Structure 1
Amino acid sequence: MTKELQENVCREETFKRLHEKYATELHNYLYYKYGETCNPDDKTQDAFIKLWENCKKVVLSKARAFLYKVANNNVLNDIKHHKVVLRYRSEKPADITREDPEFLMQKEEYFRKYQQVLAKLTEEQRVAFLLNKVEGKKH
């Protein structure tokens, strides 16, 4: 085997040299392709972390391609996730209540009593009460 194939990026000096050589280049690539919204600083850093985690598997000659592929996939995954979030945000949730059935029964009973008390009031009292409580009028 040649020396290049034997040398992986697990050596600290090699990894540092790769970071100095490709970090700015990778950041600029992500910024140009996807803009500031993809957060190219974080994606660049994540790609180097992934490279360090897989340093024994990645040979030095393939390190640049690995970094670009990982960073690009991270951005595409974020975009796909954002689309899913937007789709679910635009959908109207089902009319499912998470309230206790007993609470719902008490609510209905309270509303019936409220209607009965309102019916017993005179017209002037009812209008004054509704204007004050429902519409928030002072006088």
Structure 2
Amino acid sequence: MPKDINQNICNERAFASVYKKYADDLHNFLYYKYGEQFNPRDKTQDAFMKLWDNCKDVTLSKAKSFLFTVANNMVLNDIKHQKVVLKHQQANHKNYTNETPEFVLETNQFLEKYQKALSKLTEDQRVAFLLNKVEGKKHKEIAEFLGVTQKVIEYRIYSAFDVLKKELEGFKIK
């Protein structure tokens, strides 16, 4: 290590000597204090990266203190984060809805009717209709995808609407 203890450690040699001197001690400190679950190797590397980022502000005499403080704070932040996650996981989540049972029943019944109505469509109508209304594709895109003209796709979609209107009460085109 250089003789001048007030020298900053932006010099690669000085940084390398600090790394060689403190890396194992810092890892062992974190490992023995917090265990393997908080990744002491990663925290050690992160602390040295922070030291490199702040090399102009940290002198050689303060490097050890800086490294151990930064690494310790990183682990403490991880512990706080895990406590928040655990608290959120343990919180009672809402297991109810604001819908009435009648609404839920009507929705399920409509979905059953809708599935039956879709099954009455020809495969060409169903594919064109679902690509347009479910996936949001334009008529031109569907035509290119299926290898037919745009007029054919328009006919399939609108004939599918006619079938659905007959099968479902109150079905409206959007």
The aligned amino acid for 1:4 is I
Indicate yes or no: 2:10 matched with 1:15: no
Which residue matches 2:81?
81
- Change in Cα spacing, 1:4 to 1:83, as seen in structure 2 (3 Å) is same
Q: What TM-score do you get using the length of structure 1 for normalisation?
A: 0.68
The structural deviation recorded for 1:42 is 0.3
The equivalences for 1:1-139 within 5 A come to 3-5=4-6, 7-95=7-95, 107-110=107-110
Name the CA distance, whole Å, in 1 between partners of 2:65 and 2:74.
Answer: 14
Which secondary structure state, in structure 2, belongs to the residue aligned with residue 63 of structure 1? helix
1:70-127 residue CA offsets vs partner (Å, 9 max, x unmatched)? 0000000000000000000011223576xxxxx968525449x8xxxxxxxxxxxxxx
Which secondary structure state, in structure 2, belongs to the residue aligned with residue 8 of structure 1? coil
Name the CA distance, whole Å, in 1 between partners of 2:52 and 2:105.
Answer: 60
Name the CA distance, whole Å, in 1 between partners of 2:57 and 2:110.
Answer: 69
The structural deviation recorded for 1:27 is 0.3
Which secondary structure state, in structure 2, belongs to the residue aligned with residue 92 of structure 1? coil
Name the CA distance, whole Å, in 2 between partners of 1:104 and 1:16.
Answer: 67
1:24-43 residue CA offsets vs partner (Å, 9 max, x unmatched)? 00000111100111110000
Q: What TM-score do you get using the length of structure 2 for normalisation?
A: 0.55
Which secondary structure state, in structure 2, belongs to the residue aligned with residue 4 of structure 1? coil
Runs of 4 or more consecutive aligned structure 1 residues displaced over 4 Å after TM superposition: 103-106
Which residue matches 1:135?
none
- Change in Cα spacing, 1:95 to 1:19, as seen in structure 2 (3 Å) is same
Aligned length: 106
Name the CA distance, whole Å, in 2 between partners of 1:3 and 1:15.
Answer: 14
Greater relative contact order (Cα 8 A, min sep 6): structure 1 or 2?
1
Structure 1 unaligned segments of length 5 or more: list them: 98-102, 114-139
Name the CA distance, whole Å, in 2 between partners of 1:90 and 1:51.
Answer: 37
Q: CA RMSD in A?
A: 2.7
The aligned amino acid for 1:61 is S
